[in-house]
């Protein structure tokens, strides 16, 4: 489980309730507050495109990953959403 991080997804943004990450296990608790389907996909050191299930409007889900030192990209892999702004970067250090 590790540290819990709240994630709000909507058209077209990803917002985290935490800043400042240190290496360790994290569970991203995702709420889709939009009206389109969204997911959370994480890519970075030791994490090869790990994704939550795609959540319908109003649904919640989670994704647990082990973060190492480095830079991670968090995005939504529903086609087109990343380019529209559902794409953020976090630095773990
Ligand atoms: Cu999306």
**CATH number where 19 lies:** 2.60.40.420
Residue 77 CA to ligand 1 center (angstroms) comes to 6
Domain assignment of residue 84, yes or no: no
Domain assignment of residue 87, yes or no: no
Domain assignment of residue 55, yes or no: yes
3-state secondary structure the chain: CCEEEEEEEECCEEEECCCCECCEEEEEEEEECCCCCECCEEEECCEEEEECCCECCCCEEEEEEEECCEEEEEECCCCCCCCCCCEEEEEEC
- Per-residue model confidence (pLDDT) at position 83: 98
Residue 33 CA to ligand 1 center (angstroms) comes to 11
- Per-residue model confidence (pLDDT) at position 86: 98
Q: List, for residues 81-92, the tens digit of each pLDDT value.
A: 999 999 999 999
Predicted TM-score (pTM) of the model is 0.95
Domain assignment of residue 85, yes or no: no
Domain assignment of residue 88, yes or no: no
Domain assignment of residue 60, yes or no: yes
- Per-residue model confidence (pLDDT) at position 66: 97
Q: 47 lies in which domain range?
A: 3-79
Q: List, for residues 3-51, the tens digit of each pLDDT value.
A: 999 999 999 999 999 999 999 999 999 999 999 999 999 999 999 999 9
Residue 38 CA to ligand 1 center (angstroms) comes to 4
Q: Is the pLDDT of residue 1 over 80?
A: no
Structural domains counted in the chain: 1
Residue 34 CA to ligand 1 center (angstroms) comes to 9
């Amino acid at each position: 489980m590790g540290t819990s991080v709240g994630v709000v997804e909507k058209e077209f943004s990803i917002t985290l309730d935490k800043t400042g990450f240190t290496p360790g296990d994290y569970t991203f608790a995702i709420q889709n507050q939009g009206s389109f389907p969204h997911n959370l996909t994480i890519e970075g050191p030791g994490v090869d495109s790990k994704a939550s299930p795609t959540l319908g409007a109003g649904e919640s889900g989670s994704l647990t990953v082990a973060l190492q030192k480095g830079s991670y990209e968090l995005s939504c892999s529903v086609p087109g959403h990343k380019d529209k702004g559902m794409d953020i970067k976090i630095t773990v250090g």
